[in-house]
Amino acid sequence: MIELSRADEVFVLRFDSGENRFGRLFVRELNQALDEVEACAGPKALVTTGSGKFFSNGLDLEEMQREVGGAGVDGYLRDILMTMARVLTFPAATVAAVNGHAFGAGAQLAVAHDHRLMRVDRGFWCMPEIDMHAPLHPGMLKLLAARIPAAALHELITTGKRYGGAEAQARGIMDEAVAEAELLPRAIHIAAGLAAKSHPVLGTLKRSLYPEVLKALAGPMGLPD
């Protein structure tokens, strides 16, 4: 489900499981890959990307449905929230290379990276909860609010609009929108230029930037009505 490779000081973490939904095994393998990168000594940076049409289509709704009414669903969601927090505060530079669709939790994970690039000619970034009649965990909202301009945040939450790469860049959701052939090389180039910044203190500084986000992500699992 997760492939981890290395190009000099840059680790490339690729989601490779169809729609790349966040099931339990997917999240476990993702964190194992993050463990490996974090444990590596010396300068390093991380690029995250997907495969095929998808960066990530978000939560594994079928897996969640099987656990509704049981204690397991809270643990499942908690693992995803903590993974978002981990990426947000990772002690090395992180770059999301959004190669295709990024929906829901997948869209949020992309936003948690230090730098966000998206393919300009294919794929959408979207928070579809309004059309699903589904609430968002307060931590998810705090994460989006911390990383996206307020006007764009209101629009994307209240309309469920799908943003292509160029519009996502214009609205401040993405930092850059580039052609498919340039996406991964550009992400690796940005990451390589920041590899020397990797250090435990970088994680400390990121945590100091986002205390309210981290508090909300670690907060109660009960969702608003």
Q: For residue 203, is it within any domain? A: yes
The structural domain count of the chain equals: 1
Q: For residue 9, is it within any domain? A: yes
CA–CA distance, 127 with 53 (Å, rounded to integer): 17
Return the SS3 of 94.
Answer: strand
Q: Give me the domain span that covers residue 195.
A: 2-217
Q: For residue 166, is it within any domain? A: yes
Residues 170-225 have pLDDT tens digits of 999 999 999 999 999 999 999 999 999 999 999 999 999 999 999 999 987 655 44
Q: For residue 222, is it within any domain? A: no
Q: For residue 223, is it within any domain? A: no
How much is the pTM? 0.94
- Residue 67 burial (CB count, 10 A): 15
Q: Report the CATH number at residue 97.
A: 3.90.226.10
Contacts of 204 (CB under 8 A, 6+ apart): none
Residues 136-183 have pLDDT tens digits of 999 999 999 999 999 999 999 999 999 999 999 999 999 999 999 999
Q: For residue 142, is it within any domain? A: yes
- Give yes or no for a contact between 124 and 162, defined as CB atoms under 8 angstroms apart: yes
- Give yes or no for a contact between 170 and 149, defined as CB atoms under 8 angstroms apart: no
Q: For residue 207, is it within any domain? A: yes
Q: For residue 182, is it within any domain? A: yes
User: Secondary structure of the chain: what % helix, strand, coil (to 5)?
Assistant: 50, 20, 30
How is residue 142 written in tokens?
């705090």
Instruction: Please report the DSSP string for 7-29 in residue order.
Output: ETTEEEEEE-STT--B-HHHHHH
